[in-house]
């Protein structure tokens, strides 16, 4: 009796808008074993315009080939100079689609940038792709802009599955809702299925994420921000889960803002629930606040809520690191989705749910 020699199917991954590498980290941790072949994803190239995010990606994900991470504005990128790929990922900029912003959509600076992902698909024709954006994408331009994006991706030759993922249902200790679009080349006659939630009954809480295990004081990116006396006094009146608008705060500590009454302003975490959404922008009052200590979270604590391990080091100033963490895709959620893509190609069944976003027609 002879042993069957198994083949290895490697999908070479290219990325646009790669950020510090949340998607990539989830992608590269997967290896699916079938009867005849092993399936895995390997880094080939990544592109982002933020130099600090590129340095973070290089040092953590591809220290042996730093030149494969290209710091460039996609509008100036020479696509023809990139190496051919088998898989593609792009978390195209969400600034103009987010419900927190001005919602300029295609009229904004960032809204049209998804088109560069479409150009990559049409030029290289990878076997599959994953695109990510905020939940507000669905309603941008009365829903017409989302339909246009789906139409462009469909006409590039891909069978699409679009779903609004609630990442807290997949073990991420954070209420973070994102649209994920997975496309597989139509000629392959394969269909990606949305993986079933893994933590519906028992989500991971903020307490567990930040305290199990405790974060050592000398951990990278764990610098504490000094809070002003006024902020410290204000936080003492805000209970876990409350914000600056719902707490009984003395008049002299109240915020005097007429319009921007965002729910996460000076909001303290509820330790028994997942965190609210970690964001990459905003000033004081939006940095996520500890449920017990009168302070904002450190970047390492924010990274824990995003499921980055403590040995994943972010590079740049404290403000730059905060932005990188907030803009990233949680690696734990990314890993589950990429694992399902690999299982689709390997012909391995898995628990799934029906996609819930708009059809193409």
- β-pairing, 7-16 vs 87-90, is parallel
Distance CA 207, CA 210 (A): 5
Distance CA 312, CA 353 (A): 32
Residues 31, 62 contacting (CB under 8 angstroms): no
Distance CA 319, CA 324 (A): 9
By C-alpha distance, which of 259, 252, 254, 236 is closest to 244?
254
Q: Is the dihedral of CA 33, 37, 42, 45 positive or negative?
A: negative
Residues 329, 278 contacting (CB under 8 angstroms): no
35 is catalytic: no
Residue 93: CB atoms within 10 Å: 21
Distance CA 286, CA 292 (A): 17
* H or E, element range at 356: none
By C-alpha distance, which of 161, 120, 176 is closest to 331?
176
Say how many residues make up the chain: 361
Q: Is the dihedral of CA 193, 118, 306, 141 positive or negative?
A: negative
- What single string gives the DSSP state of each residue in 58-75? HHHH-TT-GGGEEE--GG
Active-site annotation holder among 35, 62, 94, 254: 94
Distance CA 259, CA 82 (A): 46
Q: Is the dihedral of CA 158, 159, 165, 169 positive or negative?
A: negative
The distance from CA 5 to its chain's CA centroid, rounded to whole angstroms, is 37
Q: Which residues are catalytic?
A: 94
């Amino acid at each position: 009796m002879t042993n069957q020699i198994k083949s290895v199917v490697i999908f070479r991954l290219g990325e646009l808008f790669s950020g510090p590498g949340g998607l990539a980290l989830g992608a590269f941790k997967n290896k699916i074993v079938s009867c005849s072949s092993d399936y895995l994803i390997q880094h080939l190239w990544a592109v982002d315009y933020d130099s600090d995010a590129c340095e973070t990606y290089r040092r953590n994900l591809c220290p042996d080939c730093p030149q494969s991470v290209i710091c460039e504005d996609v509008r100036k990128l020479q696509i023809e100079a990139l190496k051919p790929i088998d898989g593609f990922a792009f978390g195209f900029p969400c600034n103009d689609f987010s419900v927190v912003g001005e919602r300029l959509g295609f009229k904004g600076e960032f809204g049209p940038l998804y088109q560069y992902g479409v150009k990559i698909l049409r030029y290289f024709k990878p076997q599959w792709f994953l695109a990510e954006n905020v939940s507000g994408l669905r309603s941008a331009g009365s829903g017409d802009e989302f339909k246009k994006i789906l139409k462009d991706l469909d006409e590039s030759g891909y069978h699409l599955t679009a779903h609004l993922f609630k990442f807290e249902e997949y073990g991420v200790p954070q209420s973070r809702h994102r649209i994920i679009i997975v496309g597989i080349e139509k000629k392959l006659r394969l269909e990606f299925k949305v993986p079933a939630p893994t933590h519906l009954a028992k989500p991971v809480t903020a307490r567990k994420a930040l305290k199990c295990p405790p974060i050592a004081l000398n951990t990278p990116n764990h610098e504490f921000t000094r809070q002003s006396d006024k902020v410290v006094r204000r936080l003492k009146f805000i209970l876990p889960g409350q914000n600056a608008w719902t707490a009984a705060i003395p008049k002299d500590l109240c915020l005097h803002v007429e319009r921007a009454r965002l729910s996460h302003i000076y909001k303290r975490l509820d330790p028994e629930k997942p965190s609210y959404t970690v964001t990459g922008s905003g000033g004081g009052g939006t940095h996520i606040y500890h449920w017990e200590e009168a302070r904002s979270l450190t970047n390492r604590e924010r990274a824990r809520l995003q499921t980055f391990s403590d040995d994943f080091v972010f590079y740049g100033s404290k403000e730059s690191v905060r932005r990188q963490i907030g803009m990233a895709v949680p690696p734990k959620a990314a890993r589950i989705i990429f694992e399902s893509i690999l299982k689709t190609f390997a012909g391995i069944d898995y628990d799934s749910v029906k996609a819930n976003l708009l059809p193409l027609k």
